[in-house]
């Protein structure tokens, strides 16, 4: 397992549409190693998700640390290969987002509150799940990376883009705002 260098905003790899992985590629040593390295890199930098382009690999692969559920108490890390997203509830919710590729910044982004994701897992098996609220935002943020989109592209009001320190001093959402925090 190796910690890989994280690409930062401005690097062209973050702006490309990543290519699909072929089902037979998923279990290759190279891709399994990439998954292990992404896991190590995400944990090292304290992220809750990471997409392959963030470690300079332009393939449709992302990892998210999902909170353990009642059905899968031990399972927290989910691997998404070739994911497709479908909006189930268009009502939007706002979160202050951050990103390992956009360090030291936070921005307020509104996204649909409920989505369904279909994908292949790390064994190449078809899976799908429904994400709501916080998780819906995390999933959409990570899958955006596979399309060359960064959270800053989705900020509607540029006065809601702040450095981390100023965000913590002046922008922290109040409970009555109905706005959440996402972090990196
Ligand atoms: Ni990100």
Q: Give the pLDDT confidence of 67-117 residue by residue, as tens digits.
A: 666 666 555 789 999 999 999 999 999 999 999 999 999 999 999 999 999
What is the average per-residue pLDDT within 8-16? Answer: 98
CA of 21 to the centre of ligand 1 (A): 20
pLDDT at 164 over 90: yes
Structure confidence at residue 34 (pLDDT): 98
Active-site annotation holder among 36, 122, 142, 156: 142
CA of 41 to the centre of ligand 1 (A): 13
pLDDT tens digits, one per residue of 134-155: 999 999 999 999 999 999 999 9
Structure confidence at residue 115 (pLDDT): 98
Supply the pTM of this predicted model. 0.93
Please write down the long-range contacts of 10-16, taking CB distance under 8 Å and 24 or more positions apart.
11/56, 11/101, 13/53, 13/56, 13/58, 14/53, 14/54, 14/101, 14/145, 14/148, 14/150, 15/148, 16/53, 16/58, 16/148
Q: Provide the mean pLDDT of the chain.
A: 93
Give phi and psi for 58, each to the nearest 5: -85, 70
pLDDT at 1 over 70: yes
CA of 140 to the centre of ligand 1 (A): 10
What is the average per-residue pLDDT within 27-33? Answer: 97
| Residue 151 tokens, joined | 């959270």
CA of 11 to the centre of ligand 1 (A): 13
Structure confidence at residue 182 (pLDDT): 81
Q: Are 34 and 60 in contact (CB under 8 A)?
A: no
pLDDT band at 184 (very low <50, low <70, confident <90, very high): low
Is residue 92 flagged as an active site residue? Answer: no
Identify residues whose C-beta is under 5 A from ligand 1, the ion.
Answer: 99
Structure confidence at residue 76 (pLDDT): 76
| Residue 164 tokens, joined | 């981390």
Give phi and psi for 128, each to the nearest 5: -155, 155
pLDDT band at 125 (very low <50, low <70, confident <90, very high): very high
pLDDT at 169 over 80: yes
pLDDT above 70 as % of the chain = 95
């Amino acid at each position: 397992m190796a910690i890989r260098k994280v690409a930062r905003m401005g690097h062209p790899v973050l702006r490309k549409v990543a290519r699909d992985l072929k089902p037979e590629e998923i279990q290759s040593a190279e891709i399994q190693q990439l998954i292990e390295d992404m896991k190590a890199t995400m944990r090292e930098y304290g992220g809750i998700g990471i997409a392959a382009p963030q470690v300079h690999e332009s393939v449709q692969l992302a990892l998210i640390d999902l909170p353990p559920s009642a059905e899968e108490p031990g399972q927290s890390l989910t691997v998404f290969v070739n994911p497709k997203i479908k909006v189930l509830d268009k009502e939007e919710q706002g979160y202050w987002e951050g990103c390992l590729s956009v360090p030291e910044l936070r921005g307020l982004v509104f996204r649909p509150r409920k989505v369904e994701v279909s994908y292949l897992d790390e064994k190449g098996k078809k899976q799908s799940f429904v994400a709501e609220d916080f998780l819906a935002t995390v999933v959409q943020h990570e899958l955006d990376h596979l399309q060359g989109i960064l959270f800053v592209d989705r900020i509607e009001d540029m006065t809601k883009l702040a450095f981390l320190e100023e965000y913590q001093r002046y922008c922290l959402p109040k409970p009555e705002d109905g706005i959440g925090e996402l972090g990196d």
